[in-house]
Amino acid sequence: MRKLIRKIDAVATNDGDGVKIHRIAGRQLNSVLDPFLMVDEINSDDAADYIGGFPEHPHRGFETITYMKAGRMRHRDHMGNEDVIESGDVQWMTAGKGVLHSEMPEQENGLLHGFQIWLNLPANEKMKPAAYRDIRDESITELNLKQGGLVRVIAGSLKVNSVDLVGPLPPLSTEPVMLDVMLNSSESVELEFNKQNTALVYVYSGGLNQADNELNRRQMGVFSPGESLRLQGGDDGAKVLVFSGKPLNEPIAQYGPFVMNTVEEVEQAFQDFRQNKLV
């Protein structure tokens, strides 16, 4: 059984055009999250916290995953892709060699709740062509639990309470697993996926009542390698995102929107961007 070995608190900050978020990221966490780089949560019903959105900006060297729980977000990129994702939808974008995109709220009031996750690419894929996948709510694999909970498989393959489930994405080199797990009070679930890969759990509502420790809202738990991961909802239940992936164990050079392996590669990305050669 995987054991909880570390807890990380999300930090309140701003990004984009003044959007208020809670973030787990930073150089000191790169080896802990590997192959993930960052988890951001937006959760507000005050339009002033999110209305500025994320105007056009560049990326290179990694993938961004946007998952909406409530509200609407419009995506545009330089390849001509444009779409609105709503509650339950996912936008999976591979920046690769370079992408210019924007993410703007498609609402002027009401609750906006969603996540953006950065997933690193191995060195030999950082300059691959940019790509975009649109994953609609109805295409995400789901399993209803016996006590009323729900598991949504956004990416990866695993066993949930001994039931084999596969998400809608094709296999990727980083072997990502991404789940949205919703548990009622004291309800538990057992997850089995690659025993050596990273196992991260982010609590976005309620809390987990683990045998050896607890995880509260806006905390991420880092779990040891193991055959299975058992999660149990606290008194108010729990809603969590579960992440797993194959660690790259490669050097990371990051500055702003560019994530490469060396400082020279980051400098080249900035130069390409200034000379309109990024995309």
Q: What is the pLDDT of residue 49?
A: 98
* Tens digit of each residue's pLDDT (9 = 90 or more) over 133-150: 999 999 999 999 999 999
What is the C-alpha separation between 244 and 1, in angstroms, rounded? Answer: 15
Q: What is the arithmetic mean of pLDDT over 175-184?
A: 98
- What pLDDT does 203 receive? 98
pLDDT, tens digit (0-9, with 9 covering 90-100), for 52-100: 999 999 999 999 999 999 999 999 999 999 999 999 999 999 999 999 9
Give the mean model confidence (pLDDT) for residues 214-228. 96
CA torsion 174-254-48-86 (nearest 10°) is -20
Question: What is the spatial distance between Cα 230 and Cα 169, in angstroms, rounded to a whole number?
Answer: 24
pLDDT at 211 over 80: no
Token representation of residue 58: 């560049």
Residue among 245, 248, 246, 244 at smallest CA distance from 259: 248
Structure tokens at 74: 């419009």
What pLDDT is stored for residue 230 in this prediction?
96
In single-letter form, the type of residue at position 204 comes to Y
Tell me what pLDDT residue 195 has: 94
- What does pTM read for this prediction? 0.96
